[in-house]
Amino acid sequence: MKMSFLWTDMMIWLLVVALIFWARMIMRSPQTRQQWRRIYESPLAMACSLILLTYLSVALLDSIHFRLALPTQADSKQVNYDINMKSPLDLLFAHNIDHSERTYSAPFARNEFVSSIIVNEQGITEKAYLPLKHVATYLGINEGSGLDIFIKSIIAIIMGLMIGLIFVTLHMLWLKRGTQDSFGHYLQTVKQGKTQLPWRWAYATFLFILVMSVWLYYLNLSYHVLGTDKVGGDVLYNTLKSIRTGVLIGVLTTVATLPISIILGISAGYIGGWVDDVIQYIYTTLSSIPSVLLIAASILVVQVTIDNNPQWFETATERSDLRLFFLIIILSITSWTGLCRLLRAETFKLSQVEFVTAARAFGVGKFTILRRHILPNLMHIILISVVLDFSFLVLSEAVLSYVGVGVDPSMHSWGNMINQARLEMAREPMVWWSLLSAFLFMFVLVLAANLFSDRIQVVLDPRNEA
Amino acid sequence: MLNYIIRRVLYAIPILIGVNLLTFLLFFMVNSPDDIARSQLGAKQISPQQITAWKVKRGYDKPLFYNAETKEEGVLASLTDTLFVKESLALFIFDFGFSDAGRNIATDIKQRMWPSLQIALPSFIIGLTTNISLALLIVLFRGSVLDTTTMIIAVMIMSISGLFYIIAGQVLFSKLWHWFPISGFESGIGGIKFVILPVLIGVFGGIGSGVRWYRSLFLEQINQDYVRTARAKGLTELRVLFGHVLPNGMLPILTGVVVVLPSLFMGSLIMESFFGIPGLGSYTIDAINAQDFSIVKSMVFLGAVLYIIGLLLTDISYTLFDPRVKLS
C-alpha cells in the first residue's frame, strides 16, 4: 500500500486541524461560549449541524487516498501499485465497484432496465431483460424480492438502532459524569427535554441518520438501492462519492475567500484614502465580469495546461484532483468580492462609532482597536456569509459542471450525475433515479446549511437583540 | 447632473481596462498568436511564412505589452503600438472581430440579444412583483403561522438546485401533460408558448430567496419611528404598509433592481440552453463548449459594460428618488 497525498486532501485535513485549534481558541471567551450555546438551544440547529457533520465525515472518509499493491510476479522484485486510487469509502463499497453492472437498472430491480437481444437454448434470438450480476450474486434468482427486502430492512433497522443506542448511552454517561444523578433519572431529564441543550433532538437525529445509513448500506449489499447508471455504476456509491466534491468545493472555497475579503475589506474601511480606492477598484473590476465567464476562461486555461503536461501526473485521479484544486482557487477569486464589500461598509460605520473614537482618544493602537473592537463586531457578518456562500457554492458546482467548466467529467460529482442523467430525459419510461438521488443529497446538505445560517443570524446579529 | 454622469463614465474606463487586461492575459495564456493563425487558416500543412503573413495582416505580429522596436519614438509609442492596446481599442468601439467559425461576433450579438430579453424581461418583472407582493403579505401577517410556514417553504425552495426546477418543469408540463412545447423559440406573438414555461420556472426558482430578502427589507422599516407615528395617527395596518413602509422600502429595492437591469440582455445561461432559445446565454455556453475564446472574451467585455451601466443607473436613480442623496 502506498499513500497518495492529493492537494485537496491535504487542504481539507489542514483545515480540519485549523478549525479545531480555532474552536479551542475562541471557546476560551465566555461570551462566545454563551453565544454558541444559544445557537444550539434550537433543536433545528442541533439537527442541522449533525447532518452537516455527517456529510463532512463522509467527505473526510473519502479524502484519504492510497494505492494498493498489485500482486507481484515471482521473478520481479519491484512492487507495482494499482493505478486506481482507493479511499476508505471505496473499501466500504468494494462489493459495488467489483460487481458493476452493464447498464441502467431501477432501484431494487433484479433485471436490467434495458432489454438486450440474446440467443436462447433453442437457438432463437429474443429480447430479454438480463438479471443483474450484483443482485444475482447475493440472492438466489428466484428468491421472493418483496419479502426479502422487508426482512432485510427490519434487520438493518434493528442493527442501526442497537449501534446508535450504544453511542447515545455512552454520550449520556459522559454528560452526567461528575453529577450524583442516577442514570435512570438522567434519562428521564433528557426525555422530557429538561437539559440545557436539546439532547433528545440530537439523539433522535443521530439515531435517524444512523438507521438510514445502516439500512442503505445493508440493503446495498444485496441490491442496488438507488439503481445503477448508464455504465452500470451503483448510484448510491456515486452519490456518496459526490459528497466529497460538493463539500470540498463549498468548504475550501469559502475558507479560502475569508483572508482576502477580511483583510481587504477591513483595510479599505478602516484606512480609507488611496487604499480604499485601490481595493474598491479591484473588486469592482472583478465583480463586473460575469463570474461564470471568468470561471470558464480560467478553467479553459487550466485544462489546456493540464493537457499539455501529462508527465506531471501518475494517475487520472491526480489529474482530476488538480483541476478541482484550481477550480476551488478560481471560485474563491470570483467570490470574495461580496463579503469584502459588506465588511468595508461595516468597518467604515464601526470606525465612526463612539466606543472606537473613545479607544482612539485613549491612545489605543490601531491594531488593538481592530482586534478588540472592530473584528468581534464583524464576526456575525462573516459567519453568516460563510454558511450562505457554502450552500451557494454547492449548488453552483452542479451548474458549472453542466456548463462544462466545473470539475473534471471523470470525477464523481452531483453536477456530473445530473448532466449525464439529463441526456436520458427523452428515454421512455424515464430514468429518474440518478437525477433524484443527486438532487436529494444536494438538497439535504444545502437545506441544513441554510437553516443553520438562519439560526446563527438570529443569535449573533446584534440587531435582533430586541 | 451631466457633469456627474460624465465623471462616472470616465471612472468606468479604468475598470474596463482592468477587465480587458484580465481577459487578455487569460486569452493569450491558452492561445498564442501562432495558434490563432493556425486555427484560422485551417489547412493542415501551413508554412511558417503563411503564419507570419496572416499575423502581419491581422496585426497579431506585434508584441503583447511592450514594443521594443519603436523605442526611439518614445515610451508612449512602445506602449501603445502593442497587441493589447490594439485589441482593447477594438473592443471599446464594440468591434468584436470574428468567431472561430468565421462569423461576425457583433452581428451575432445584435441578433441574439432579443430572444434573451424576451425570456429575461418577463421573468424579471413577474418575479419582482410576485416577490414583493408575497413579502408584503407575509409582513402583514408577521409572527403568525402563515409567516413561519412561508419562511420554511422559502428556505426549502431556495435550497433546491435551479437545475431541478428546469428538469422537473420540462418533465411535468411538457412531457407528461403536453401543456407547452419542451423547447424551441419563435419571435413575435407566436413564440409566446415557448416563453411561458421558462418564465414560470425562472419566477418560481427565485421566489425563495426573493421573498426572504424583501421581507427582511420591509421588517427593517417596520420598526422605524415613522411607522410608529403612522400607527399612532390611527392609520390602518394596510395604509401603514402601502402608504409608508412600501415607498420607503422601495429605496433599497431599487439598488438591487436597477443594477441587474442592463444585464438582462445577457440572458440566462442554463435556461436558454435547456429550452433551446437562441439568445446570448446559449451563445455563451456554445462558445465555452467549443472553446471559442474570441466569443468568450467579447461576452466578458459586454457583461462588464452592462454591469457598469447598471451601477451608473443605480446612482442616478438614487439621486432621483431619494431627496437625501446629493450628487457629489
Domain containing residue B215: CATH number: 1.10.3720.10
Write out chain B residues lying below 8 Å of A447, CB-based.
155-156, 159
> Are both B67 and B124 inside the same structural domain?
no
Last residue of a domain, one of B35, B58, B92: B92
Write out chain B residues lying below 8 Å of A282, CB-based.
18
Residue A59: enclosing H or E segment and its boundaries? helix A43-61
**Beta strand A125-128 pairing with A65-67:** unpaired
Looking at the partner chain, which of A391, A403, A446 has a beta carbon nearest the beta carbon of B269?
A403
Set of cell numbers at residue A104: 441502467
CB A59 within 8 A of CB A12: yes
**Interfacial A residues in 285-304 facing B (CB < 8 Å):** 285, 287-290, 292-294, 296-298, 300-301, 304
Q: What CA–CA distance (Å, rounded) separates B213 from A356?
A: 31
Write out chain A residues lying below 8 Å of B162, CB-based.
395, 399
Angle at A333 between CA B267 and CA B31, to 5 degrees: 75
Note whether residue B59 is domain-resident.
yes
Q: What is the DSSP letter of A128?
A: E
Looking at the partner chain, which of A282, A402, A450 has a beta carbon nearest the beta carbon of B270?
A402
The chain B residue lying nearest A403, using CA atoms, is B285
> Are both B63 and B116 inside the same structural domain?
no
> Are both B86 and B158 inside the same structural domain?
no
Domain span at residue B60 reads 2-92
Write out chain B residues lying below 8 Å of A435, CB-based.
167
Angle at B57 between CA B51 and CA B60, to 5 degrees: 70
| A427 interfaces chain B, CB cutoff of 8 Å | no
Interface test with B, best of A239, A289, A431 (most B CBs within 10 A): A289
Name residue, grid cell 467604515.
A348
Write out chain A residues lying below 8 Å of B167, CB-based.
418, 422, 425, 435
The pLDDT, as a whole number, for residue A244 is 93
Q: Which of A266, A407, A242 is nearest to A331 (CA)?
A: A407
Write out chain B residues lying below 8 Å of A242, CB-based.
none
Q: What is the DSSP letter of A234?
A: B
Q: Which of A204, A81, A12, A406 is nearest to B163 (CA)?
A: A406
Q: What CA–CA distance (Å, rounded) separates A268 from A279?
A: 6
CB A446 within 8 A of CB A370: no
Residues of B with CB under 8 A from a CB of A: 14-15, 18-19, 22-23, 26-27, 29-30, 155-156, 158-164, 167, 170-171, 175, 223, 263, 266, 269-270, 284-285, 288-289, 291, 293, 296-297, 299-300, 303-304, 307-308, 311
Give the 3-state secondary structure of residue A195: coil
Q: Which of B282, B298, B274 is nearest to B107 (CA)?
A: B298
Q: What CA–CA distance (Å, rounded) separates A393 from A338?
A: 14
Query: In this complex, do A284 and B156 lie within 8 Å of one another by their Cβ atoms?
Result: no
Q: Which of A449, A377, A353 is nearest to A31 (CA)?
A: A377
Write out chain B residues lying below 8 Å of A300, CB-based.
26, 30, 288, 291, 293, 296
Q: What is the DSSP string of A63-115?
A: T-EEEPBPPPPSS--PPPB-SS-B-HHHHHTHHHHHT--SS-B-TT-SB-SS-
Query: In this complex, do A285 and B164 lie within 8 Å of one another by their Cβ atoms?
Result: no
Write out chain A residues lying below 8 Å of B304, CB-based.
288-290
Cβ-count burial of A415 within 10 angstroms (0-12 exposed, 13-18 middle, 19+ buried)? buried
The pLDDT, as a whole number, for residue A51 is 95
Q: How many CB atoms lie within 10 A of CB A158?
A: 12
- ipTM value > 0.95: no
> Are both B44 and B134 inside the same structural domain?
no
Q: What is the DSSP letter of A464?
A: G
Each residue's pLDDT tens digit, B168-190: 898 888 888 888 887 788 777 77
Note whether residue B328 is domain-resident.
no
> Are both B53 and B162 inside the same structural domain?
no
Note whether residue B292 is domain-resident.
yes
Interface test with A, best of B16, B91, B164 (most A CBs within 10 A): B164
Cα distances (angstroms) measured from residue A442 to each of A245, A448, A465: 11, 10, 33
pLDDT in tens, chain A (466 residues): 788 888 889 999 999 999 999 889 888 888 888 888 888 988 999 999 999 999 999 999 999 888 888 777 666 667 777 777 888 888 888 877 776 777 788 787 777 777 777 777 777 777 777 777 776 665 555 455 677 788 888 999 999 999 999 999 899 888 888 777 778 888 888 888 777 888 889 999 999 999 999 999 988 887 888 888 888 788 899 999 999 999 999 999 999 999 999 999 999 988 888 999 999 999 989 988 888 888 888 888 888 888 888 888 878 888 888 899 999 999 999 889 989 999 998 898 888 888 888 988 888 888 888 888 888 888 888 888 888 889 999 999 988 988 888 888 888 999 998 888 877 777 777 788 888 999 999 999 999 999 998 888 888 876 665 4
Give one word for B99, left, alpha or beta, with left for phi > 0 and alpha for psi -120 to 50: beta
Counting the structural domains of chain B, the total is: 2
**Interfacial A residues in 205-264 facing B (CB < 8 Å):** none
Query: In this complex, do A418 and B289 lie within 8 Å of one another by their Cβ atoms?
Result: no
Please, which residues have CB within 8 angstroms of residue A349's CB and are 6 or more apart in sequence? none
Backbone angles phi, psi at A343, to 5 degrees: -65, -35
Last residue of a domain, one of B92, B117, B143: B92
Query: In this complex, do A399 and B162 lie within 8 Å of one another by their Cβ atoms?
Result: yes
Note whether residue B227 is domain-resident.
yes
> Are both B88 and B164 inside the same structural domain?
no
Give one word for B264, left, alpha or beta, with left for phi > 0 and alpha for psi -120 to 50: alpha
| A439 interfaces chain B, CB cutoff of 8 Å | yes
| A457 interfaces chain B, CB cutoff of 8 Å | no
Helices (H) and strands (E) counted in chain A, each on its own, are 19, 4
Write out chain B residues lying below 8 Å of A337, CB-based.
none
Write out chain B residues lying below 8 Å of A44, CB-based.
none
> Are both B70 and B115 inside the same structural domain?
no
Set of cell numbers at residue A271: 484606512
Set of cell numbers at residue A206: 443521530
- Per DSSP, helices labelled H in A352-405 are 354-361, 366-369, 375-403
> Are both B241 and B283 inside the same structural domain?
yes
Note whether residue B97 is domain-resident.
no
Q: How many CB atoms lie within 10 A of CB A189?
A: 15
Note whether residue B102 is domain-resident.
no
Query: In this complex, do A398 and B163 lie within 8 Å of one another by their Cβ atoms?
Result: yes
Query: In this complex, do A447 and B156 lie within 8 Å of one another by their Cβ atoms?
Result: yes
Q: Exposed e or buried b for every residue in B189-205, given b needs 16+ CB within 10 A?
A: eeeeebbebbbbbbbeb
B260–chain A nearest CA distance, Å = 11
> Are both B310 and B170 inside the same structural domain?
yes
Query: In this complex, do A297 and B163 lie within 8 Å of one another by their Cβ atoms?
Result: no
Query: In this complex, do A301 and B26 lie within 8 Å of one another by their Cβ atoms?
Result: yes
Neighbouring C-alpha atoms within 13 Å toward the C-beta of A25:
6
B71–chain A nearest CA distance, Å = 31
**HEC letters along B172-240:** HHHHHCCCCCCCCCCCCHHHHHHHHHHHHHHHHHHHHHHHHHHHHHHHHHHCCHHHHHHHHCCCCHHHH
CB A83 within 8 A of CB A315: yes
Looking at the partner chain, which of B167, B175, B291 has a beta carbon nearest the beta carbon of A300?
B291
Looking at the partner chain, which of B23, B160, B304 has a beta carbon nearest the beta carbon of A297?
B23
CB A408 within 8 A of CB A324: yes
> Are both B165 and B212 inside the same structural domain?
yes
> Are both B124 and B187 inside the same structural domain?
yes
Note whether residue B326 is domain-resident.
no
The pLDDT, as a whole number, for residue B74 is 66
Q: What CA–CA distance (Å, rounded) separates A379 from A373?
A: 11
Note whether residue B98 is domain-resident.
no
B315–chain A nearest CA distance, Å = 15
> Are both B181 and B312 inside the same structural domain?
yes
Q: Which of B94, B98, B22, B89 is nearest to B62 (CA)?
A: B89
Q: What CA–CA distance (Å, rounded) separates A173 from A176?
A: 5
Query: In this complex, do B15 and A281 lie within 8 Å of one another by their Cβ atoms?
Result: yes
Please, which residues have CB within 8 angstroms of residue B117's CB and are 6 or more apart in sequence? B264, B265, B267, B279
Residues of chain B short of pLDDT 70, as ranges, are 30-33, 36-45, 55, 57-81, 325-328
Interface test with A, best of B35, B100, B147, B159 (most A CBs within 10 A): B159
| A387 interfaces chain B, CB cutoff of 8 Å | no
Last residue of a domain, one of B64, B92, B120: B92
The chain B residue lying nearest A400, using CA atoms, is B270
Give the 3-state secondary structure of residue A228: strand
Residue A349: enclosing H or E segment and its boundaries? helix A337-351
